[in-house]
Structure 1
């Protein structure tokens, strides 16, 4: 049969039969006879399964509160069936009949809504996820679905919150991504995840967390924690490595001033901007760098203190009310200034940024960008960037090798970092640097730690310290002398053992080491390695010779030359640097520097003559002499090479210099180191050697001789002749001084009470209370009437004097003369020695007014200011 024929037959059949409508059941239900109505309904439903009216009535009966078999689910079943049946009814007459019973699509939907609502109230009463899910699944188109979902989701959120782990919140968010509480769950999830994954605060945990959760809202916080660990070392490469990996703008701004200060300290002659191309804060750092050159001085402007440079240009208006004495009296070379403003002390950078403000007494630059602040409460530490590093007063603070900050509290020391991360608590008697190590001392002993072994503490790791030493000393060669359990040892720069611990005293020597114990003296000699296993009773040494006594006999070793060792001497003595006295049985022998030996005959007594010039200067003795004294004051004198230079009868002989010997009989004479006479025995006496000048005395008069400079002035003057320059001497006749040449030609009259050196050609000479600038060449006076003077500057190009005359004070130069006229009541020198500014003051006493004129180093007037007395003392250095 074709589909068309089937459809046609179906239509005919439907038209032949009318829709089953249990009208009687409706009337029975309306009269309250529910049981009869149900009987009729059942028969009607058995008669025809397409029965929207019957199903509709059943849906009403099952939600009738008086019905003993009350069932919302049954009602829901029948209303849905009624709706399904109703959709199949097409005949208008059937629809009209249903309409008469109040059944249409709207009524059916209304009934369904009513049942949905009743069911939802039941579900709400149970208020469980499973019940809400059941309602949502079964009543999918109910008006209460959004509320059901919201309530279900909220229960799930509350369940997650009750567990309160990041896993519970993650499960909730994964299962209910559209929940209203998602916004509450996510930050809790992120917070708990962050806290758990980074709970130990260790670098590995922090970096792993960022790698696994790059979108975390705690990204900035974690980067900050990583930053504080990896840059705890305060090393340039650690900052740059961090910023390459984590280009964080905020931390970049924080790092730049740190890097700048570190770089400036470590590489003062290098250009920071050549190596670092940061754009962040670049202008600020460039401005700081540009302002660092030269010194600054305070100046009053509009009643407040500003600062000027060496050209008197105003560089910074601070608004300070006053500054301290150091600022008034010394050029400000630091890259910050101190002052008081509004009753508060301030530290201000040269670019005008306030680094710190508070109550403190002083502040000092302690290097690597740190400023130490001192107050009555103690010491704090601030970085020049304005970052307060040690924010609680300590008994003391110190920066150790740029990496560590040592703090003292209650007499004990601890270590922290630039990031305020404590490394070691306050439990140490002392902490300091020693070589490449950190010295850590407790009552039980001293530990030496490499800097890198302490930084794991910034990562929360335990630092193991071994307090094994009782004493530690850094030696000149960088090695360490240590004591442990009462035994001494020598360790190298990496604490490896050079000399093992033993019951001996260790002494460093130029040739190696000397160990003294109950067994004797042991030598670890760089040249004589075989000595290390022997013990000696006594050791004497000089730079050249080494004398060793063992079993009562002496041996002599040559430390610098190639002479073979000498053995079996009864005694041995080192005479100076060049001569050794050896005795074997009755024979005494002098051994000289070149190996020559001189047997000393019986009855002759040796004496070492050390030149006075070595003794007075403390210089190393290069040449000395040996004098033998025999019967009837017979003398033989030998030089350092054992050559006899004199054989003569004398009262005494004294070596004045390596090339000059004074001989004394009734009169005195001088010979050189070869025995040739410089002066014969014609003078009463010869004085000591002073820088090559030797005074000669005869009949109460004084002369002078200097062999090297070929000066010989006979004794015709009344006091010691003093050298003034290479060609001029100062001599005395009577009580007055004058100038003579080294050839004994008079260069001036003998008019002066005192002479002081100024230049080779111009001297400061005094007659009574007046000083003159005396030209030695032509006896002219460059300046007269000086009552007092003070040397301000002295170098090879120029000398400057601050002079005082009857008219006032001024400044005089040997090259430019008087370039600040001596008319001022006071002149103070500000600035630096090479680039001074002169602060000249004239006081108008009648008006109590101070006129201050600033001059540059050449005497050019920079500016003038007029002050009342109180203002003047705000800007004037109180020191003379």
Structure 2
């Protein structure tokens, strides 16, 4: 090839100007060529080139020569160059040159035809080799050849075949970059998109998915990636992450789902949302409409063998009719936002607008909370959102939403944990998983382990491990839990850090400072500060107000917690009740109150802490001294009395006991009740029951009135002013001033109002006015409250003739003639379902009444139809 080029340039520079001579020499060269005398042809052409280097005729013959495979220097590329020059130079010749070309029996079309022939020969060579290099060579040199496009196509096919063999996104990217017009670009793009997606998102980590979307914003996998990102962002029902997703991604479908999930989490106002105001606006319009509908409590009726939903005024709430409804709807007071119905043989969940939200399931629907529903399909359970989209395909035996964040799921009888979108955090390997406070408890067989939500969340990306160390666990509060071993206890904090030493045998958490019992002694722990003392003590005494610790024979006495300045150098310590510490230094003793007031005492002196059952800020101590009982209140002496015993009745009254009999004194120690009673109890509302000669009475300390001592059982409170008393087995009412308001004569008395009471008389209940004894309701065999509030009371009553409804202000609003009466409404608004059976005709007549007792409508049913309507509760 180099020799051909050298010859070409020598010849090109040796052209002559004589056209007649040129024509003759061209003919001579042609004759020599045709005879196969290639050397002579070369010689003639060389001389001709010396005379005229731009002679197209000479260049044409050179092209003939180099394109002839019999020519020793056969070289198509050189032939191509000569014919290219010939075709180019002929455009630059004048008329004389063209005439001379004709004299050589050559014409323009001869040059063009030869060029076509040489191009075709070169393409045939490339096609025969059929490799990328050959086609690339042809494409580079023969860019105006008729076969150029075909060469490009074939070259691209071979390159793409090699790319497919390597099959990485990098080589597909290179192919598209270098061959942007190739027919295979579309295939390359598909493979590139697929492979780079698989490569860069292989980990499944959310950060890799998000990084990929930033790097490849136009990926065809964008929708599926955004769905995966959505499932991660919403998987733990974290509203902050949901808002973050909404603001990051402009996906209308997923944005609407996010809004729905946020709404069901906390009915938020969406103030933190920045993206797509139109989506928010449309969503809120829809939500506001449904919220109004969701405020209605609903009931159902059966008409033409189809169920209808009614409001509590008896009006049709939804126009649709349904073959079946969820069984509990038949009992009324339906508040479900989504209603479970069956229409045309298909189970459906519809909203209060009648729109079908979900259908096609065949089992039960359970509200998990936070807008999630567990829906049974084919015997397995999945999750849908109340707004109608599926979060989790059915595949689980049971599901429970825990901590409003994660699902505990059951598979093959074992429990695990996952996100609400199905991301498995903990494989199903446990017999039970439940939460105590902020702690998650895992059980396998008889063993328990403790974990936390934070540890479980980490299990998204790492394997979950929990040590099943304990035989049992006990929650102390949200910060601490105790695990029990065979002969030890372990205190864990909410970070799952072990607080107590290995030698811990018992942990006392009853009081403000916790006491840890160890093999070597005792130490203390402050749960508020999370600090374990390094000190070890030989003994401990503790009540609600005091903590005593002993070491080396001496006591350190603290007021409630270990950080208080202790009383030191104490020889002996005794705790009295829940509030008083008795300390001695040698023979000198002190009774110390919580306010640190002290009373001097001596060894073996009688001491008694008294007060109400529920501890208050007032503390009493009784000290015996010289035959007298001395009462101290918060360290201050109140009075001294000669008596056998002094005790607590109320903050204003104290009992005294002498010779086995009881009386009462006030705060000043003066006698209020004579010392003659067999017993005096602690007062309630400043009225204390008393027992005298086997009869019960009471004393009203507020008004200083002794209530009658005539009764067979302890007096009970009716209200703040009246008491239920029992005389000779019959009940009546006594006021706090010792006046009989209702003569004993009833088998039972129950509260109705401050002016009327429910009394059982000869087996029948009555409502009786206290003022004049007027019976406003009688002959009631049974009653139960439908509503019981100070302003309004409603009774379901049964008389011999049937059931009815009695209202505290309107009296009998539904007559007592029905076999059954049920309230399908709620506490505020009632809708009454009444039923009368005609067994002979196999007919049940149902009449509906509104909250005021007005008849709304009635229906008659055959027994089998009625059975499908009636509430089974």
Does the 8 A contact of 2:481 with 2:491 survive in 1? Answer: yes
Query: In the alignment, which residue of structure 1 is the partner of 2:404?
Result: 402
2: CA distance between counterparts of 1:668 and 1:55?
147
Tell me the SS of whatever aligns to 2:815. Answer: strand
Per-residue deviation, 1:185: 2.0
Query: In the alignment, which residue of structure 1 is the partner of 2:387?
Result: 385
1:304 and 2:306 are equivalent in the alignment: yes
- Select between 202-211 and 716-725 the one with higher mean Cα deviation: 716-725
Per-residue deviation, 1:777: 0.4
Query: In the alignment, which residue of structure 2 is the partner of 1:517?
Result: 518
Q: Deviations over 1:719-773 (max 9, x none)?
A: 7665544444555665655555544545556654443321111112233233322
2: CA distance between counterparts of 1:787 and 1:672?
48
Tell me the SS of whatever aligns to 2:278. Answer: coil
1:220 counterpart (217, 223, 230):
223
1:639 and 2:631 are equivalent in the alignment: yes
2: CA distance between counterparts of 1:39 and 1:535?
119
Label 1:298 to 1:709 Cα distance change in 2 as closer, same or farther (>3 A). farther
1:122 and 2:125 are equivalent in the alignment: yes
Does the 8 A contact of 1:563 with 1:595 survive in 2? Answer: no
Query: In the alignment, which residue of structure 1 is the partner of 2:689?
Result: 694
Q: Deviations over 1:849-874 (max 9, x none)?
A: 43333333333444444433333333
Tell me the SS of whatever aligns to 2:598. Answer: coil
1:148 counterpart (127, 148, 151):
151
Give 1:799-810 correspondences, 5 Å limit. 799-810=793-804
Query: In the alignment, which residue of structure 1 is the partner of 2:774?
Result: 780
2: CA distance between counterparts of 1:743 and 1:343?
70
RMSD across aligned C-alpha pairs, in angstroms? 5.0
Does the 8 A contact of 2:300 with 2:332 survive in 1? Answer: no
Label 1:711 to 1:190 Cα distance change in 2 as closer, same or farther (>3 A). same
2:426 counterpart (421, 424, 427):
424
Per-residue deviation, 1:801: 1.2
Label 1:128 to 1:519 Cα distance change in 2 as closer, same or farther (>3 A). closer
Query: In the alignment, which residue of structure 2 is the partner of 1:334?
Result: 336
Per-residue deviation, 1:573: 4.6
Does the 8 A contact of 2:442 with 2:468 survive in 1? Answer: no
2: CA distance between counterparts of 1:733 and 1:84?
139
2: CA distance between counterparts of 1:75 and 1:579?
122
1:133 and 2:136 are equivalent in the alignment: yes
Query: In the alignment, which residue of structure 2 is the partner of 1:6?
Result: none
Give 1:317-716 correspondences, 5 Å limit. 319-357=321-359, 361-373=363-375, 377=379, 379-410=381-412, 412-427=414-429, 431-433=433-435, 446=449, 448-449=451-452, 451=454, 455=457, 458=460, 461-462=461-462, 467=467, 474-476=475-477, 478-481=479-482, 493-494=494-495, 502-503=503-504, 505-523=506-524, 536-546=537-547, 565=567, 573-577=574-578, 595-597=598-600, 614=612, 626=622, 636-641=628-633, 645-647=640-642, 659-661=653-655, 663=657, 671-672=665-666, 675-680=669-674, 691=684, 692-697=687-692, 703-715=697-709
1:243 and 2:246 are equivalent in the alignment: yes
Does the 8 A contact of 1:757 with 1:763 survive in 2? Answer: yes
1:261 and 2:261 are equivalent in the alignment: no
Q: Deviations over 1:289-330 (max 9, x none)?
A: 333324332333553333333344444456542234322225
Query: In the alignment, which residue of structure 2 is the partner of 1:877?
Result: 871
Give 1:264-279 correspondences, 5 Å limit. 264=267, 271-272=269-270, 278-279=277-278
Label 1:842 to 1:95 Cα distance change in 2 as closer, same or farther (>3 A). farther
Query: In the alignment, which residue of structure 2 is the partner of 1:8?
Result: none
Per-residue deviation, 1:829: 1.4
Does the 8 A contact of 2:307 with 2:324 survive in 1? Answer: yes
- Select between 143-152 and 405-414 the one with higher mean Cα deviation: 405-414
2: CA distance between counterparts of 1:723 and 1:86?
131
Per-residue deviation, 1:123: 2.6
1: CA distance between counterparts of 2:823 and 2:522?
61
Does the 8 A contact of 2:522 with 2:536 survive in 1? Answer: yes
TM-score, normalised by the number of residues in structure 1: 0.78
Give 1:781-820 correspondences, 5 Å limit. 781-820=775-814
Label 1:360 to 1:177 Cα distance change in 2 as closer, same or farther (>3 A). closer
Tell me the SS of whatever aligns to 2:477. Answer: coil
Per-residue deviation, 1:405: 2.5
Query: In the alignment, which residue of structure 2 is the partner of 1:20?
Result: 24
Per-residue deviation, 1:433: 4.8
Does the 8 A contact of 1:653 with 1:664 survive in 2? Answer: no
Does the 8 A contact of 2:655 with 2:680 survive in 1? Answer: no
1: CA distance between counterparts of 2:84 and 2:560?
120
1: CA distance between counterparts of 2:587 and 2:57?
155
2: CA distance between counterparts of 1:85 and 1:588?
134
2: CA distance between counterparts of 1:565 and 1:838?
70
Q: Deviations over 1:354-399 (max 9, x none)?
A: 4544556533322222223468945433332334334243344332
- Select between 558-567 and 389-398 the one with higher mean Cα deviation: 558-567
Gaps of 5+ in 1: 1-11, 265-269
- Select between 823-832 and 108-117 the one with higher mean Cα deviation: 108-117
How many pairs were matched up?
835
Label 1:82 to 1:849 Cα distance change in 2 as closer, same or farther (>3 A). same
- Select between 196-205 and 715-724 the one with higher mean Cα deviation: 715-724
2: CA distance between counterparts of 1:21 and 1:74?
21
Does the 8 A contact of 1:736 with 1:752 survive in 2? Answer: yes
1:168 and 2:171 are equivalent in the alignment: yes
- Select between 768-777 and 558-567 the one with higher mean Cα deviation: 558-567
- Select between 281-290 and 59-68 the one with higher mean Cα deviation: 59-68
Per-residue deviation, 1:151: 1.6
Label 1:654 to 1:53 Cα distance change in 2 as closer, same or farther (>3 A). closer
TM-score, normalised by the number of residues in structure 2: 0.79
Tell me the SS of whatever aligns to 1:475. Answer: strand
2: CA distance between counterparts of 1:569 and 1:85?
129
Tell me the SS of whatever aligns to 2:416. Answer: strand
Label 1:151 to 1:590 Cα distance change in 2 as closer, same or farther (>3 A). closer
Per-residue deviation, 1:140: 4.0
Query: In the alignment, which residue of structure 1 is the partner of 2:162?
Result: 159
Per-residue deviation, 1:566: 8.2
- Select between 859-868 and 757-766 the one with higher mean Cα deviation: 859-868
Label 1:319 to 1:117 Cα distance change in 2 as closer, same or farther (>3 A). farther
Does the 8 A contact of 1:442 with 1:467 survive in 2? Answer: no
1: CA distance between counterparts of 2:69 and 2:546?
128
Per-residue deviation, 1:540: 3.2
Per-residue deviation, 1:609: 8.8
Label 1:709 to 1:84 Cα distance change in 2 as closer, same or farther (>3 A). closer
Gaps of 5+ in 2: 1-16
- Select between 826-835 and 316-325 the one with higher mean Cα deviation: 316-325
1: CA distance between counterparts of 2:36 and 2:726?
160
1:856 and 2:850 are equivalent in the alignment: yes
Does the 8 A contact of 1:738 with 1:751 survive in 2? Answer: yes
Query: In the alignment, which residue of structure 1 is the partner of 2:764?
Result: 770
Q: Deviations over 1:566-597 (max 9, x none)?
A: 86667x65443466677999999988886334
Label 1:620 to 1:321 Cα distance change in 2 as closer, same or farther (>3 A). farther
Label 1:193 to 1:853 Cα distance change in 2 as closer, same or farther (>3 A). same
